[in-house]
Amino acid sequence: MDILRKGNKDLIKDINRYTVLNLIREKGEITRTEIAKKCDFGMSTLTYILDDLQQEGIILEGAETSSTGGRRAKLVRFNKDYGFVVSVKVEEEQLLFALTDLNAEIIENTSIPFSSEKKPEEAIELIAKNVKKMCGNRDMNHLLGVGIAISGLVNRKKGTVIRSTMLGWENVALEAMLHAHFPDIPVYVDKNINCYTLAELWLGEGKQSNNFATVSVGAGLGLSVVINRQIYYGAQGGAGEFGHTTIQPGGYKCHCGQKGCLEMYASEFYFRNRGEELKEAYPTSELNDFHFDKVAKSARAGDEMATELMGKMGEYLGYGIRNIINTFNPEKVIIVGEGLHHRDLFLTKIDEIASQNFFSGAGFETEITTTSLEDPAWLQGAALLVIHQLFQVPIYEEEQTLLR
């Protein structure tokens, strides 16, 4: 896609072009007449835009509509194979990669071993090598961007990982470092939960919602808030760190340095913290491994300590979600993450507590639901970091530079 724009005089033309293109993307297939009505364009203006897009190859002629007695209209459709995107998810013990089309549909994906002890430079070498490997024999001119999902505090505008406790990174210019390997290809970086939320926004439970929250539960705790169909980032891009809100003053020590953070009570961390304390109270318990999967397996086998741990974790998470509802008043809260594999052990507790919020008392119900997406949604969301930028309607910043 030609991403260069000539300046102020082309702004209206650019806006019209992207308005039409995004409508076609949203609908999949649509007639010229329908586009003209929805965009309020004259047919001559629309024909010019469509001819330009078709010549570029980003839209294609579709089938003809069924006849109702008059002349059958031809459909135009978005060419999802116009280019491709590579997405990456950085985890503690592995790197995940996917190659997607422009609808964020995964064409192929893979994973490689990784260690969080690796230096950023080593990680970048691995990422760059495997991005190229994912592209295979495809024309690199059709690689329209690389999207990276990572744990930690991220400055997405600069593509910098400000701090990642999981990786031990601070102020790592991830985007700039990867640009050394791909100088002509856009690179976008965001934290994991925001990437997943993009997938929910465009592919999942958030498609029909303007305001919602996504909560991830598992080894840690994450939150992303959507307001008027835009992710809320806050001043430094760190909005959503509700895992570091205090739920128990003076409580368990958190990896952030504070005590009593919600993440220490509403995630896998709680099993480790509280499990050691409960061993004397449950001398017959055979639970020694406090990973989420192991605690869930023991709870299903009737282990009383594991059952208590899972139930209390659900209670704390319920209070956390209640606070989200009271603070943001979302239409719905979508629960995601690896912990959902064991939802039957704690979801009832969450519903019982979170549903008793301020708004329910006023007669307004907030839907609490679980994701309908599969695990690759993390990678689809990272791809959508790129796709969202590619098709963003242009605006001007104060310095009068044209944004994509």
Q: Is 135 annotated as a binding residue?
A: no
Q: Is 195 annotated as a binding residue?
A: no
- Do strands 332-336 and 212-217 pair parallel, antiparallel, or not at all (unpaired)? parallel
Q: Is 261 annotated as a binding residue?
A: yes
Residue 62 vs residues 29, 30, 41, 83, 296: alpha-carbon distances, Å: 7, 9, 21, 19, 50
* The two structure tokens encoding residue 262: 């919600």
Cβ(159)–Cβ(187) below 8 Å = yes
Instruction: Please tell me the distance from the alpha carbon of residue 86 to that of residue 46, in angstroms, as a whole number.
Output: 32
Cβ(239)–Cβ(226) below 8 Å = no
Cβ(244)–Cβ(258) below 8 Å = yes
**Strand-by-strand arrangement of the 160-164 sheet:** 153-155, 160-164, 169-172
Cβ(193)–Cβ(206) below 8 Å = no
Instruction: Please tell me the distance from the alpha carbon of residue 343 to that of residue 198, in angstroms, as a whole number.
Output: 22
Task: State the helix-helix crossing angle for 304-328 and 268-278, rounded to 10 degrees.
Answer: 140
Q: What is the DSSP string of 14-64?
A: HHHHHHHHHHHHHHSEEEHHHHHHHHT--HHHHHHHHHHHHHHTSEEEEEE
Q: Is 244 annotated as a binding residue?
A: yes
Torsions phi, psi of 402, nearest 5? -85, 125
Binding-site sequence positions? 244, 254, 256, 261
Binding residues for Zn(2+): 244, 254, 256, 261
